[in-house]
Chains A and B, each alone.
Chain A
Amino acid sequence: MTDRFANDGYLGRRSVIELGARARAFALLDEGSASELCGPFDRIESPWLSAQGLVPQSDDGMVVVKGRLAGHACLVVAVEGGFHGGGVGEVGGAKASTALSLAAADSAEGRTTPAVLFLESGGVRLQEGTLGLNAIAEICDALLVLRPRAPVIGVVAGPIGAFGGMGIVAGLCTRLIVTREARIGLNGPEAIEVEAGVQEFDSCDRALVWAVDGGTQRYRTGLADALVSDSIDDVRHSVITAIAAGVPTRHRSEQLDTLHARLDGLVEIDPADLGPRWGTQFGDLPPLDLASVPWPPADGT
């Protein structure tokens, strides 16, 4: 098939959103370098779903891939949003937290291994209750051990976004890459509507949802580091840049002073005012300069 859009920058792009978790991980890493750990044929699936009459998935919706990115060792953990909305259960959670712990151990021994997390999740898988909550705690714990040793880069492409426990994980990342389709939050729009009523938050109002949780809003208020198009090439460039920027003196989540200063004096919030009021600079976290890494790379990697 001739690709008549191949020369068009936007239509010729390779979409990230359209890819599943495994394809995202393999597309990000250097060609031929990626190998999956605990893959589908290891059949490490959830023992709790079939007990409740639900069909499990052979990888429990969590894909762990080790490989190289721009020639350097890199771990990728990708959540499969198509399986239970990316809900995190005991098994998938253990895969993610163990992978992050191993990357932290490698980094401590001099084999620096940054991690990239493709987050696409509504949070804890409700069918696994406290085991899912515990899984989130373990992921956060492992991430916090790795983070001072090597950058942990979160990528939220969409369409699901990162909510609940994975919203917390997104908040702990060294850097966050988003598309305008992305959403990041703690309580998802529907959860807020169910708990507090439609007057509080109308989850059907897409403009409102994206004005509050959307990737563009997160970027313009300094809560995400790069706003990129839905393209593997752009995501790859921004992730490589984010890793090259290294570990900052203080991560975003370590700057409660900045958060307090931002919230000081705010009574009623209009999402449209927050961009101009807060700006894209978050405390002393250096802005991510995409121009610092030339793209496309001269050697073709």
Chain B
Amino acid sequence: MQELTLHYPGGQRVTARAHVGVVGSGDCEVLVEPHDATDAVVRVRTAVDGFELIWQRVLGSFFARYPVAGRYEINDQGATPGVVSLRLRQAVAGAT
């Protein structure tokens, strides 16, 4: 298991908590909740080690498109970049 914490600038803020997904094969769980800071803080725990660069790319691209401040947690069980983006989108939709 590898743990990463990444920061992105946020404009809009999440206004509610949201929880989506499951820590199951090829999927991930996303928790998002409001916090006082103006950035998006993402803590990733992933079952697959060594994909830090991919996480930076996937999350960088997501938060460039949806700059939403909040505290994010991703518990990942080998989700592909597409699944990660969809789960994040689903979480943000539920929290804004």
Question: In the complex, which residue of chain B has the Cβ closest to the Cβ of A82?
Answer: B24
Point out the residues of chain B lying under 8 angstroms from A83, CB to CB.
Answer: 22-24
Bound state CA distance, A58 and B22, in angstroms? 9
Are A41 and B47 interface neighbours, CB within 8 A? no
Taking CB atoms, residues of chain A closer than 8 Å to B27 are 82
Question: What band does the interface of chain B fall in when counting residues whose beta carbon is under 8 Å from A?
Answer: 10 to 19
Contact B22 A82 (CB under 8 A): yes
Q: How far is the CB of B70 from chain A (nearest CB, A)?
A: 13
What residues of chain A lie closer than 8 Å to B31, measured between beta carbons? 40-41, 58
Asked if A57 and B19 make an inter-chain contact with CB atoms under 8 angstroms apart, the answer reads no
List B contacts of A58 (CB < 8 A).
19, 29, 31, 73, 75
What does the 1/0 interface line of B50-75 toward A look like (CB < 8 Å)? 00000000000000000000000101
- Contacts of A80 on B, CB cut-off 8 Å? 22
A54 at the interface (CB under 8 A from B): yes
> Which residues on B are within 8 Å of A, measured CB to CB?
1, 17, 19, 22-24, 27, 29, 31, 33, 45-47, 73, 75-77
Q: What distance in Å separates the Cβ of A19 from its nearest Cβ neighbour in chain B? A: 11
Contact of A56 (CB < 8 Å), options: B23, B24, B33, B46 = B23
B24 contacts A55, C-beta separation under 8 Å: no
Residues of A contacting B46 in the complex (Cβ-Cβ under 8 angstroms) = 55
The answer to the question of A248 belonging to the interface, with a C-beta cut-off of 8 Å to chain B, is no
Is the Cβ of B17 less than 8 Å from the Cβ of A41? yes
Q: Does A286 contact B (CB under 8 A)?
A: no
**Distance in angstroms between the alpha carbons of A85 and B19 in the assembled complex:** 20
Q: Which residue of A lies closest to B44 (CB)?
A: A55
Q: Which residues of B contact A54 (CB under 8 A)?
A: 1, 47
Distance A56 CA – B27 CA, assembled complex (angstroms): 13
Question: Which of A36-72 touch B at CB < 8 Å?
Answer: 39-41, 50, 53-58
Q: Is A20's CB within 8 Å of the partner chain B?
A: yes
Cα separation A80 to B23 with both chains bound (whole Å): 10
Interchain CB contact under 8 A, B75 and A56: yes
* A82 surroundings in chain B (CB, below 8 A): 22-24, 27
Closest to B49 in A: A53
**Chain A residues positioned under 8 Å from B24 (CB to CB):** 82-83
Q: Taking A40-B31, A82-B27 as contacts, is the C-beta distance between A55 and B75 under 8 angstroms?
A: yes
25 pairs from A and B in contact (CB 8 Å cutoff): A39-B19, A40-B29, A41-B17, A41-B19, A41-B33, A50-B45, A53-B1, A54-B1, A55-B1, A55-B23, A55-B47, A55-B77, A56-B23, A56-B75, A57-B29, A57-B75, A58-B19, A58-B29, A58-B31, A80-B22, A82-B22, A82-B24, A82-B27, A83-B22, A83-B23
User: Does B19 contact A40, Cβ atoms closer than 8 Å?
Assistant: yes
CA distance A56 to B3 in the complex (A): 12
Query: Measured between C-beta atoms, what is the minimum distance from A89 to chain B in Å?
Result: 13
Nearest-CB distance from B26 to chain A (Å)?
Answer: 10
